[in-house]
Amino acid sequence: MPMIQDYKELIRILGKIDRQGYKRYKEIKGAYKFPSFTLFIDHVQGDPFAAPSRVCARIPIRGKIPEEFLSGPVELTAVEDFLGRRFKSLKARIVKGRRGIGKSGLIEIEAGSQKVLKRNAVVIDGQDVEFRFVMGLPAAGRTILGKEASAMFAEEVPEIMRQTMQIPIKELTHFVWSVVDQDVLRRLLSSKGLVAFIADNSILPRRSGIDDRPLTDGVPFVSPPSLRVTLSTPHGGDVSGMGIPKGVTLVVGGGFHGKSTLLNALQMGIYNHIPGDGRERVVILPDAVKIKAADGRYIEKVDISPFIHNLPFGKDTEQFSTENASGSTSQAAGILEALEIGCRVLLMDEDTSATNFMIRDERMQRLVPKAKEPITPFVDRVRQLYTERGVSTILVMGGSGDYFDAADTVVMMDTYMPVDVSREAKEIVRHLPTQRAQEGGETFGDIRHRVPLRNSFDPSRGRKDVKIDAKGLFTILFGHTQVDLKDMEQLIDIAQTRSIGVIIHYAALNFFDGKQTLQEALDAVYTRLSQEGLDTLLPYRVGNLALPRKIEAAQAINRMRTLHVGALKKEKT
């Protein structure tokens, strides 16, 4: 803990170094006591164009927030998220902005959009709350603008803190209880025999592909009577809507009628949403995974034999590796990797799937006999996944009725409205039985767990022992390795991407010991994160991390082209 000085000392230093060379800003690093909070300047940028300076404001929270909102992890995350959004909204009105070149005049905090994530931008610890943000220290060229910096520290930051902590309790209560109710709905699913739930009057469509807010004139969702269930929440009372049962569910319908919109809402149901999002009562089991074809991706010793075997030239599919996967091999690997990490729900859309992986119809079976076809299509495994392994599937399918045989539930989207057509689909199966042969064999087979080797993960670059960063939402820079995550659709925030890179390094240092499987190692990492928080990942304080799921961390590791694994272990029974 640095020695805490009076904030007037900070203002004095800024006056002394005014119009001096930019490097002298380093003199302000330290801790300063303001009238209502303590300010920590943890890192000072080296020049106006460098990453901005890291700053933390700690303020007592006693009496400002009801104790019941600080009683559990879900409530605590909701409060931290609310305060981060409030800080960000207020600073947009208070901060003057650009005060010179580069990042001069910037004050910024990591806060969310439509989803509520566990972050370390706002951290409540005991009786205090920390706001971790960045500041661009003002300069003209490489000359310090001390007066402008003084205005930022002595006027803008205190005013942001003052207004942020004038917390509107009614608004906060609505926010926190909305998040808690969503979490309750998600936890109720398994006991009710469901994998997902969509409340009546939800607004599923988004404004655009780059605007995640609800469509202003979106059609309110209404459950078919046959699938309607009512779930009880502690603060919002009874909530009625469409329950999607465990098993195999098909989403069918004509083009542009809302099939993919429904699936997108479901795949984002792993997250809690802000009130008014339209999807705040759309929930799915937390380990649901969206699978798609990812041509060209790296695969390291994945047992894809349940779907692909007998490849030409004797290529091994029980330890399948490739630098350049096809659509079918990437989709097969994606499913097996998801099962390896504990997935219980698969989400798939035929539009983003490899056709030859999904179906082989009767005519193709007659032309190309099974002995000459390495691929066992998903249609012949989807039922086994549920009956043998308890893994449910929700599949958007508009082109093949052969999936009717395997389906428990069939929902047709008609002008964005769901209709339960399960009975009609079963009648079609009875009157028009499929002529194709089942190619899946008697069982799905075992899941093999891989043991990552520590030497796969070298974060060094040049003179730096560790160089890890996120370059956009779907790219991690890990030392000299660039990790492409573009097919990971459930990743939503660059702060998660940044965290994944750090988690990989942390796991390599502490748990990838050549003995633990990928699942065991990541289980250990996430147990520690649940106990100690995101701050355990780094030796210094930052505010730019958000918690990804263990599944996304595993998916990123699987896409590292430096990944090497040792022994393959059959899963424990």
| CA–CA distances in Å: residue 488 to residues 170, 320, 327, 370, 568 | 37, 21, 15, 32, 25
379/222 Cα distance (integer angstroms): 29
- Residue 439 φ then ψ, to 5°: -115, 10
247/245 Cα distance (integer angstroms): 6
337/522 Cα distance (integer angstroms): 13
2/32 Cα distance (integer angstroms): 10
Cα torsion angle, 452, 455, 456, 461, sign: positive
User: So what's the pLDDT on residue 573?
Assistant: 44
User: So what's the pLDDT on residue 23?
Assistant: 96
Cβ–Cβ < 8 Å for 55, 42: yes
| Helix/strand/coil for 279 | coil
Residue 509 CB coordination number (10 Å) = 12
Q: In what order do the strands lie in the sheet with 392-396?
A: 288-291, 345-349, 392-396, 248-252, 409-414, 417-420
Cβ–Cβ < 8 Å for 119, 544: no
| Count of CA atoms in the C-beta half-sphere (13 A) of 304 | 31
DSSP character at residue 215: P
Beta-carbon contacts of 107 under 8 Å, excluding residues fewer than 6 positions away, are 91, 95, 133, 134, 135, 136, 152, 156, 157, 160
- Residue 466 φ then ψ, to 5°: -135, 120
Distance from the first to the final alpha carbon of the chain: 49
User: So what's the pLDDT on residue 399?
Assistant: 86
User: So what's the pLDDT on residue 568?
Assistant: 75
- For 448-464, letters b (16+ CB in 10 Å) and e give bbbbbbeebbbbebeee
Cβ–Cβ < 8 Å for 328, 294: no
User: So what's the pLDDT on residue 292?
Assistant: 97
User: pLDDT by residue for the chain (573 residues), tens digit each?
Assistant: 679 999 999 999 999 999 999 999 999 999 999 999 999 999 999 999 999 999 999 999 988 999 999 989 999 999 999 999 999 999 999 999 899 999 999 999 999 899 999 999 999 998 899 999 999 999 999 999 999 999 999 999 999 999 999 999 999 999 999 999 999 999 999 999 999 999 999 999 999 999 999 999 999 999 999 999 999 999 999 999 999 999 999 999 999 899 999 999 999 999 999 999 999 999 999 999 999 999 999 999 999 999 999 888 778 899 999 999 999 999 999 999 999 999 999 999 999 999 999 999 999 999 999 989 999 999 999 999 999 999 999 999 988 899 999 999 999 999 999 999 999 999 999 999 999 999 988 899 899 999 999 999 999 999 999 999 999 999 999 999 999 999 999 999 999 999 999 999 999 999 999 999 999 999 999 999 999 999 999 999 999 999 999 999 999 999 999 999 997 777 754
- Assigned token pair, 138: 């003002």
| Helix/strand/coil for 101 | coil
Largest CA distance in the chain: 89
- Assigned token pair, 254: 């004509």
Cβ–Cβ < 8 Å for 26, 44: yes
Cβ–Cβ < 8 Å for 357, 328: yes
Match 């799905």 to its residue by tokens. Answer: 444
Strand partners, 135: 53, 107
| Helix/strand/coil for 40 | strand
Radius of gyration of the chain (CA): 26
**Count of helix runs (H) and strand runs (E) in the chain:** 14, 30
User: So what's the pLDDT on residue 572?
Assistant: 57
The full set of domain ranges for the chain reads 4-167, 449-570
| CA–CA distances in Å: residue 212 to residues 66, 109, 203, 265 | 31, 20, 12, 11
